[in-house]
Amino acid sequence: MAEQLLFGAAVGFEAARAVSLLPEGHRSRRLHGHSFLANVRVALPDGWAAFPGAEVDQLRDRLAAAIGPLDYQHLNLQVDQPTDENLARWVRRQLDMRGIDTVGIQSTQHEGVDLDRNNHAHVWRRYVFQSAHQLPKVPPGHKCGTMHGHGFEVIIHANQDLGRSEISIDYDHLDALWAPIQQELDHSCLNDIPGLENPTSEMLSSWIWRRLKPQLPELSWVTVYETAACGAHFDGAHYRIWKELTFDSAVRLKQAPEGDKRRRVHGHTYTLRLHLNAPLDIVMGWTIDFGDVKEIFSPIFLK
Protein backbone atom coordinates (compact mmCIF):
# COMPACT_ATOMS: atom_id res chain seq x y z
CA MET A 1 0.00 0.00 0.00
CA ALA A 2 1.39 3.40 -0.99
CA GLU A 3 2.10 5.82 1.83
CA GLN A 4 -0.40 8.68 2.06
CA LEU A 5 -0.28 11.63 4.43
CA LEU A 6 -3.68 12.85 5.58
CA PHE A 7 -4.32 16.11 7.42
CA GLY A 8 -7.30 16.38 9.76
CA ALA A 9 -9.33 19.15 11.36
CA ALA A 10 -12.53 19.40 13.38
CA VAL A 11 -14.82 22.36 14.13
CA GLY A 12 -17.95 22.50 16.29
CA PHE A 13 -21.19 24.32 15.66
CA GLU A 14 -24.48 24.81 17.52
CA ALA A 15 -27.72 24.43 15.60
CA ALA A 16 -31.39 23.43 15.68
CA ARG A 17 -33.20 21.04 13.33
CA ALA A 18 -36.31 18.96 12.74
CA VAL A 19 -36.28 15.81 10.58
CA SER A 20 -39.73 15.25 9.10
CA LEU A 21 -38.68 12.08 7.22
CA LEU A 22 -38.77 10.18 10.50
CA PRO A 23 -41.92 8.27 11.50
CA GLU A 24 -44.80 10.04 13.22
CA GLY A 25 -44.13 10.39 16.94
CA HIS A 26 -40.33 10.16 16.61
CA ARG A 27 -38.72 12.68 18.98
CA SER A 28 -36.42 14.08 16.28
CA ARG A 29 -39.38 15.19 14.15
CA ARG A 30 -39.75 17.99 16.71
CA LEU A 31 -37.48 21.03 16.61
CA HIS A 32 -34.42 20.21 18.71
CA GLY A 33 -30.73 21.03 18.82
CA HIS A 34 -27.20 19.65 19.17
CA SER A 35 -23.63 20.68 19.68
CA PHE A 36 -22.41 19.24 16.36
CA LEU A 37 -18.82 18.45 15.43
CA ALA A 38 -17.74 18.51 11.78
CA ASN A 39 -14.45 16.86 10.82
CA VAL A 40 -12.46 16.27 7.66
CA ARG A 41 -9.39 14.28 6.63
CA VAL A 42 -7.74 15.17 3.34
CA ALA A 43 -4.56 14.58 1.34
CA LEU A 44 -3.19 18.05 0.61
CA PRO A 45 -0.87 18.84 -2.31
CA ASP A 46 2.60 20.21 -1.65
CA GLY A 47 2.53 23.98 -1.22
CA TRP A 48 -1.18 24.09 -0.31
CA ALA A 49 -0.52 25.94 2.96
CA ALA A 50 1.22 29.27 3.40
CA PHE A 51 4.24 27.50 4.90
CA PRO A 52 5.15 23.95 6.02
CA GLY A 53 3.45 23.26 9.34
CA ALA A 54 0.46 25.53 8.69
CA GLU A 55 -1.63 22.84 6.98
CA VAL A 56 -3.79 21.85 9.97
CA ASP A 57 -4.54 25.43 11.00
CA GLN A 58 -5.48 26.43 7.45
CA LEU A 59 -7.59 23.30 7.01
CA ARG A 60 -9.42 24.14 10.24
CA ASP A 61 -10.04 27.67 8.97
CA ARG A 62 -11.35 26.27 5.68
CA LEU A 63 -13.71 23.94 7.54
CA ALA A 64 -14.85 26.72 9.88
CA ALA A 65 -15.71 28.91 6.88
CA ALA A 66 -17.61 26.04 5.27
CA ILE A 67 -19.82 25.40 8.30
CA GLY A 68 -20.18 29.08 9.20
CA PRO A 69 -23.69 29.30 7.67
CA LEU A 70 -24.81 26.46 10.00
CA ASP A 71 -23.60 27.84 13.33
CA TYR A 72 -26.42 29.10 15.59
CA GLN A 73 -28.91 28.54 12.81
CA HIS A 74 -32.10 26.61 12.02
CA LEU A 75 -30.63 23.91 9.80
CA ASN A 76 -33.85 23.30 7.87
CA LEU A 77 -33.37 26.75 6.33
CA GLN A 78 -30.02 25.65 4.89
CA VAL A 79 -30.35 21.89 4.28
CA ASP A 80 -33.42 19.99 3.16
CA GLN A 81 -33.96 17.15 5.68
CA PRO A 82 -30.87 17.91 7.82
CA THR A 83 -29.97 14.38 8.90
CA ASP A 84 -26.36 13.80 9.94
CA GLU A 85 -25.76 12.22 6.53
CA ASN A 86 -27.21 15.14 4.58
CA LEU A 87 -25.24 17.60 6.70
CA ALA A 88 -22.02 15.71 5.95
CA ARG A 89 -22.78 15.80 2.22
CA TRP A 90 -23.55 19.52 2.45
CA VAL A 91 -20.23 20.21 4.22
CA ARG A 92 -18.34 18.19 1.61
CA ARG A 93 -19.85 20.29 -1.19
CA GLN A 94 -19.05 23.51 0.68
CA LEU A 95 -15.43 22.47 1.16
CA ASP A 96 -15.06 21.80 -2.58
CA MET A 97 -11.60 20.24 -2.16
CA ARG A 98 -9.74 17.48 -3.96
CA GLY A 99 -8.17 14.67 -2.00
CA ILE A 100 -10.85 14.38 0.68
CA ASP A 101 -10.66 11.03 2.46
CA THR A 102 -13.52 11.44 4.93
CA VAL A 103 -16.02 14.07 6.04
CA GLY A 104 -17.88 13.44 9.28
CA ILE A 105 -20.71 14.90 11.30
CA GLN A 106 -21.02 13.93 14.96
CA SER A 107 -24.33 15.06 16.45
CA THR A 108 -23.82 13.63 19.96
CA GLN A 109 -20.97 11.99 21.84
CA HIS A 110 -22.28 8.58 20.80
CA GLU A 111 -23.43 8.93 17.18
CA GLY A 112 -22.65 10.40 13.79
CA VAL A 113 -22.01 9.78 10.10
CA ASP A 114 -18.76 9.55 8.13
CA LEU A 115 -18.61 9.94 4.34
CA ASP A 116 -15.79 7.86 2.89
CA ARG A 117 -13.72 8.65 -0.21
CA ASN A 118 -16.38 6.96 -2.36
CA ASN A 119 -19.03 9.26 -0.85
CA HIS A 120 -20.67 6.37 0.98
CA ALA A 121 -22.29 7.33 4.29
CA HIS A 122 -21.31 5.16 7.27
CA VAL A 123 -23.67 5.75 10.17
CA TRP A 124 -22.12 4.94 13.53
CA ARG A 125 -23.35 4.47 17.08
CA ARG A 126 -21.28 3.98 20.25
CA TYR A 127 -22.22 1.57 23.05
CA VAL A 128 -20.61 0.95 26.45
CA PHE A 129 -20.70 -2.12 28.67
CA GLN A 130 -18.83 -3.33 31.75
CA SER A 131 -17.45 -6.88 31.63
CA ALA A 132 -14.88 -9.21 33.12
CA HIS A 133 -12.60 -11.50 31.13
CA GLN A 134 -9.34 -13.40 31.13
CA LEU A 135 -7.29 -14.69 28.22
CA PRO A 136 -6.69 -18.43 28.67
CA LYS A 137 -4.10 -18.83 25.89
CA VAL A 138 -1.49 -16.32 27.10
CA PRO A 139 1.84 -17.47 28.57
CA PRO A 140 2.13 -17.96 32.35
CA GLY A 141 2.65 -14.63 34.11
CA HIS A 142 0.94 -12.54 31.42
CA LYS A 143 -1.25 -9.98 33.19
CA CYS A 144 -4.22 -10.71 30.90
CA GLY A 145 -4.22 -14.32 32.06
CA THR A 146 -5.74 -13.26 35.38
CA MET A 147 -9.41 -12.39 35.73
CA HIS A 148 -9.85 -8.65 35.23
CA GLY A 149 -12.32 -6.28 33.60
CA HIS A 150 -12.83 -3.28 31.35
CA GLY A 151 -15.35 -0.65 30.50
CA PHE A 152 -15.58 -1.78 26.88
CA GLU A 153 -16.80 0.50 24.11
CA VAL A 154 -18.17 -0.75 20.81
CA ILE A 155 -18.89 1.33 17.72
CA ILE A 156 -21.21 -0.12 15.10
CA HIS A 157 -20.73 1.28 11.58
CA ALA A 158 -23.40 0.75 8.91
CA ASN A 159 -23.16 1.77 5.24
CA GLN A 160 -26.34 3.66 4.42
CA ASP A 161 -25.61 3.41 0.70
CA LEU A 162 -26.16 -0.35 0.85
CA GLY A 163 -29.73 0.24 2.05
CA ARG A 164 -32.80 1.41 0.25
CA SER A 165 -34.42 3.89 2.63
CA GLU A 166 -34.47 7.61 1.86
CA ILE A 167 -33.13 8.48 5.30
CA SER A 168 -29.84 7.39 6.78
CA ILE A 169 -30.15 4.37 9.06
CA ASP A 170 -32.06 5.47 12.14
CA TYR A 171 -30.03 5.34 15.34
CA ASP A 172 -33.07 3.84 17.09
CA HIS A 173 -32.87 0.91 14.65
CA LEU A 174 -29.26 0.30 15.66
CA ASP A 175 -30.25 0.56 19.33
CA ALA A 176 -32.96 -2.08 18.89
CA LEU A 177 -30.53 -4.49 17.20
CA TRP A 178 -27.87 -3.88 19.84
CA ALA A 179 -30.16 -4.20 22.89
CA PRO A 180 -30.07 -8.04 23.21
CA ILE A 181 -26.28 -8.04 22.69
CA GLN A 182 -25.89 -5.37 25.39
CA GLN A 183 -28.02 -7.48 27.71
CA GLU A 184 -25.74 -10.47 27.14
CA LEU A 185 -22.40 -8.64 27.45
CA ASP A 186 -23.01 -6.06 30.17
CA HIS A 187 -22.01 -7.00 33.73
CA SER A 188 -20.97 -10.48 32.69
CA CYS A 189 -17.86 -12.63 32.39
CA LEU A 190 -17.18 -12.82 28.67
CA ASN A 191 -15.49 -16.23 28.99
CA ASP A 192 -18.84 -17.73 30.01
CA ILE A 193 -20.55 -16.66 26.76
CA PRO A 194 -20.59 -19.31 23.98
CA GLY A 195 -18.12 -18.26 21.28
CA LEU A 196 -16.15 -15.99 23.62
CA GLU A 197 -14.18 -18.58 25.55
CA ASN A 198 -11.04 -16.69 24.46
CA PRO A 199 -12.37 -13.10 24.58
CA THR A 200 -9.65 -11.00 22.96
CA SER A 201 -10.68 -7.70 21.34
CA GLU A 202 -10.40 -9.37 17.94
CA MET A 203 -12.59 -12.30 18.91
CA LEU A 204 -15.14 -9.98 20.49
CA SER A 205 -15.34 -7.81 17.36
CA SER A 206 -15.94 -10.82 15.10
CA TRP A 207 -18.45 -12.32 17.57
CA ILE A 208 -20.45 -9.07 17.46
CA TRP A 209 -20.17 -9.03 13.65
CA ARG A 210 -21.66 -12.51 13.39
CA ARG A 211 -24.53 -11.53 15.69
CA LEU A 212 -25.41 -8.33 13.84
CA LYS A 213 -24.70 -8.95 10.16
CA PRO A 214 -27.74 -11.20 9.43
CA GLN A 215 -30.04 -8.52 10.85
CA LEU A 216 -28.07 -5.55 9.54
CA PRO A 217 -26.86 -6.21 5.97
CA GLU A 218 -25.53 -2.64 5.87
CA LEU A 219 -23.01 -3.38 8.64
CA SER A 220 -19.62 -1.99 7.54
CA TRP A 221 -17.35 -2.83 10.44
CA VAL A 222 -17.25 -3.25 14.22
CA THR A 223 -14.85 -1.34 16.45
CA VAL A 224 -14.04 -2.60 19.95
CA TYR A 225 -12.24 -0.39 22.48
CA GLU A 226 -10.77 -2.61 25.18
CA THR A 227 -9.32 0.50 26.81
CA ALA A 228 -9.20 4.11 25.70
CA ALA A 229 -5.77 3.46 24.17
CA CYS A 230 -6.16 0.16 22.33
CA GLY A 231 -8.70 -1.86 20.41
CA ALA A 232 -9.61 -3.75 17.26
CA HIS A 233 -11.64 -3.37 14.03
CA PHE A 234 -13.29 -6.18 12.08
CA ASP A 235 -15.00 -5.74 8.69
CA GLY A 236 -16.11 -9.31 8.16
CA ALA A 237 -12.82 -10.36 6.56
CA HIS A 238 -9.90 -8.38 7.99
CA TYR A 239 -8.71 -7.47 11.47
CA ARG A 240 -6.94 -4.25 12.38
CA ILE A 241 -5.70 -3.34 15.84
CA TRP A 242 -4.33 -0.09 17.20
CA LYS A 243 -2.34 1.14 20.16
CA GLU A 244 -2.12 4.76 21.29
CA LEU A 245 0.74 6.49 23.11
CA THR A 246 1.03 10.13 24.15
CA PHE A 247 4.00 12.42 24.66
CA ASP A 248 4.58 16.05 25.64
CA SER A 249 7.04 18.01 23.52
CA ALA A 250 8.07 21.47 22.45
CA VAL A 251 8.03 22.69 18.84
CA ARG A 252 8.83 25.82 16.86
CA LEU A 253 7.77 26.52 13.27
CA LYS A 254 10.75 28.42 11.89
CA GLN A 255 9.14 29.00 8.49
CA ALA A 256 6.18 30.87 9.93
CA PRO A 257 6.18 34.59 9.05
CA GLU A 258 7.69 37.17 11.40
CA GLY A 259 5.32 38.00 14.22
CA ASP A 260 3.43 34.70 13.94
CA LYS A 261 3.15 33.13 17.41
CA ARG A 262 3.99 29.74 15.93
CA ARG A 263 7.59 30.92 15.42
CA ARG A 264 7.99 30.95 19.19
CA VAL A 265 8.84 27.80 21.11
CA HIS A 266 5.60 26.26 22.33
CA GLY A 267 4.31 22.80 23.13
CA HIS A 268 1.60 20.20 22.73
CA THR A 269 0.44 16.92 24.16
CA TYR A 270 0.66 14.65 21.12
CA THR A 271 -1.14 11.35 20.59
CA LEU A 272 0.33 8.72 18.27
CA ARG A 273 -1.91 5.87 17.10
CA LEU A 274 -0.21 2.89 15.50
CA HIS A 275 -2.49 0.72 13.31
CA LEU A 276 -1.58 -2.86 12.40
CA ASN A 277 -3.25 -5.18 9.90
CA ALA A 278 -2.42 -8.86 10.34
CA PRO A 279 -4.02 -12.30 10.01
CA LEU A 280 -5.63 -13.69 13.13
CA ASP A 281 -3.53 -16.11 15.16
CA ILE A 282 -6.09 -18.91 15.52
CA VAL A 283 -4.52 -20.28 18.70
CA MET A 284 -4.03 -16.98 20.54
CA GLY A 285 -7.18 -15.33 19.17
CA TRP A 286 -5.37 -12.09 18.37
CA THR A 287 -3.35 -10.55 15.56
CA ILE A 288 -0.56 -9.46 17.90
CA ASP A 289 -0.37 -8.87 21.66
CA PHE A 290 -0.96 -5.20 22.58
CA GLY A 291 1.95 -5.53 25.01
CA ASP A 292 4.24 -6.61 22.18
CA VAL A 293 3.07 -3.65 20.08
CA LYS A 294 4.01 -1.29 22.89
CA GLU A 295 7.39 -2.97 23.42
CA ILE A 296 8.29 -2.87 19.72
CA PHE A 297 7.01 0.67 19.21
CA SER A 298 8.46 2.23 22.38
CA PRO A 299 12.11 2.56 21.21
CA ILE A 300 10.90 4.56 18.19
CA PHE A 301 8.31 6.48 20.19
CA LEU A 302 10.78 7.45 22.94
CA LYS A 303 13.12 9.10 20.43
48-59, pLDDT tens digit by residue?
999 999 999 999
d(CA 12, CA 64): 8
Arithmetic mean of pLDDT, 81-106: 96
For 247, list phi and psi in degrees, rounded to 5: -150, 155
E-strand stretches of 145-229: 148-159, 188-189, 219-227
For residues 154 and 91, what is the distance between their CA atoms, to the nearest angstrom?
Answer: 27
**What DSSP element (H or E) covers 89?**
helix 84-95
Catalytic residue set: 144, 187, 226
pLDDT digits (tens, 9 = 90+) for 247-293: 899 999 999 999 999 999 999 999 988 888 888 887 688 887 777 77
The string of pLDDT tens digits covering residues 4-22 is: 899 999 999 999 999 998 8
High-pLDDT (> 70) share of the chain, %: 96
Confidence band of 170 (pLDDT split at 50, 70, 90): confident
Domains of the chain: 1-117 (3.30.479.10), 120-303 (3.30.479.10)
The helix/strand/coil state of 281 is strand
Within a 10 A sphere around the Cβ of 1, how many other Cβ atoms?
4
Q: Can you say how many angstroms the Cα of residue 8 is from the centroid of all Cα atoms in its chain?
A: 13
d(CA 33, CA 74): 9
Please give the Cα distance from 38 to 146 (Å, whole number).
41
Mean pLDDT, rounded, for 237-245: 90
pTM higher than 0.75, yes or no?
yes
Q: What integer pLDDT is reported at residue 301 of this predicted model?
A: 66
The residues, ordered by sequence, that sit 6+ positions from 59 with a Cβ below 8 Å of its Cβ are 7, 8, 9, 40, 42, 44
